[in-house]
């Protein structure tokens, strides 16, 4: 980008500007790295290996304590649909495209550190390491005018690939209050932003909030949809993570009990709705057993 905008943008607008610029002027060496990473992910998606026993990870078992309970119990899982790997592959492609554009388009003095290994703070039977997507930061060489001086020097970002309707819905959402977060996006951001290893590298980053960046995997040309998540919302998400990790007895159909049925039916894959939870059958059976004993 040749000159700063007339008005100082915040991090969300700078990310959008970087993506637009990167798409116009992709750095060939950055594209080459992205191509290799896409190839690697494609081979992983379709290598035919059996799934290892699941453990609680930053990206699963945190939205609904019922799910983390079933993971710990070793409950029978509903097989993942065969075609879902195709969706994962498209998601990886859109993810790497976004990485390449952002790294190619950021102004001088602004950088994007991608895939940072962090602590989760989880118990021994969980995944104790995770990978944060990206941290945007400005250096001492950052050109004036690109970012409001009051904005923090660095901020955590998480790229989430979404189908078109979810991407459009994401653009309209408000994250000033804790929402349903059925996909676990806010929970994952909360885990990473509170990682001691991330805070050591970027002191005070937990005070800066975070960016939840929607990537439209059906129509990548629509661009990115970054949303600023406040530290207050991330603190609320941290409490829910703690609840999920501490669950030792069946908490009931938590998501169904706490949010509207029409929404949870979609997220849980029940009542003929689209969606996939590997424990939907186990949850249904547990609900039926307890109903019969009432």
Residue 10 gets which letter from DSSP?
Answer: -
Q: What would the two tokens of residue 47 be?
A: 């290598």
Q: Which secondary structure element, helix H or strand E, spans residue 113, and what is its range?
A: strand 110-119
Taking the C-alpha atoms of 237, 10, 115 and 183 in order, what is their torsion angle to the nearest 10 degrees?
30
pLDDT in tens, 268-283: 777 666 677 888 888 8
Residue pair 211/229 in contact (Cβ under 8 Å)? The answer is yes
**Neighbouring C-beta atoms of residue 223, cutoff 10 Å:** 17
pLDDT in tens, 117-132: 999 999 988 999 999 9
Residue pair 62/184 in contact (Cβ under 8 Å)? The answer is yes
Report the predicted TM-score, pTM, of the whole model to 2 decimal places. Answer: 0.89
Distances (CA, A) of 25 to 41, 50, 85, 99, 105: 25, 41, 31, 13, 7
What is the b/e burial string over 189-206, where b = at least 16 CB atoms within 10 angstroms of the residue's CB? bbbbbbbebbbeebeebb
Q: Is 188 exposed, middle or buried (CB count within 10 Å of its CB: 0-12, 13-18, 19+)?
A: buried
Residue pair 114/103 in contact (Cβ under 8 Å)? The answer is yes
**How far apart, in whole angstroms, are the C-alpha atoms of residue 182 and residue 184?**
5
User: What sign does the dihedral 95-97-103-105 (CA atoms) show?
Assistant: negative
Distances (CA, A) of 21 to 15, 98, 102, 120: 10, 12, 8, 34
Contacts of 33 (CB under 8 A, 6+ apart): 100
pLDDT values of the chain reduced to their tens digit, one per residue, 294 residues: 666 766 668 999 999 999 999 999 999 999 999 999 999 988 887 876 556 778 888 877 677 888 888 998 999 888 887 788 888 888 889 999 999 999 999 999 999 999 999 999 999 889 999 999 999 999 999 988 899 989 999 999 999 988 777 788 787 765 555 456 777 888 999 999 999 999 999 999 999 999 999 998 888 888 899 999 999 989 988 988 888 888 888 888 887 777 766 667 777 777 666 677 888 888 888 888 877 776
What is the b/e burial string over 100-111, where b = at least 16 CB atoms within 10 angstroms of the residue's CB? bbbbbbbbeebb
**How far apart, in whole angstroms, are the C-alpha atoms of residue 42 and residue 40?**
5
**What is residue 7's predicted lDDT score, i.e. its pLDDT?**
64
């Amino acid at each position: 980008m040749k000159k700063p905008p007339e008005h100082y943008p915040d991090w969300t607008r700078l990310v959008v500007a970087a993506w637009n610029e990167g798409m116009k002027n992709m750095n060939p060496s950055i594209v080459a790295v992205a191509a290799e990473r896409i190839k690697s992910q494609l081979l992983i998606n379709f290598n035919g290996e059996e799934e290892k026993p699941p453990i609680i990870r930053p990206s699963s078992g945190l939205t609904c304590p019922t799910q983390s309970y079933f993971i710990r119990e070793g409950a029978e899982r509903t097989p993942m649909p065969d075609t879902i790997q195709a969706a994962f592959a498209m998601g990886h492609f859109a993810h790497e495209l976004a990485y390449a554009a952002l790294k190619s388009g950021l102004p001088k003095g602004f950088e994007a550190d991608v895939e940072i290994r962090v602590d989760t703070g989880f118990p021994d039977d969980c995944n104790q390491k995770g990978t944060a997507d990206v941290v945007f930061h400005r250096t001492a060489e950052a050109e004036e005018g690109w970012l409001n001086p009051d904005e923090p020097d660095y901020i955590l970002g998480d790229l989430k690939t979404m189908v078109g309707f979810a991407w459009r819905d994401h653009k309209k959402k408000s994250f000033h209050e804790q929402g349903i977060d059925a996909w676990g996006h806010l929970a994952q951001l909360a885990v990473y932003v509170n990682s001691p290893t991330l805070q050591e590298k970027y002191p005070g980053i937990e005070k800066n909030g975070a960016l939840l960046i929607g990537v439209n995997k059906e129509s990548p040309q629509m661009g990115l949809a970054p949303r600023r998540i406040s530290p207050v919302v991330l603190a609320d998400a941290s409490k829910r993570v703690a609840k999920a990790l501490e669950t030792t007895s069946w908490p009931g159909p938590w998501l169904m009990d706490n949010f509207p049925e029409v929404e949870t039916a979609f997220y849980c894959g029940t009542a003929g709705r689209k969606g996939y939870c590997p424990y939907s059958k186990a949850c249904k059976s547990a609900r039926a057993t307890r109903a019969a004993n009432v």
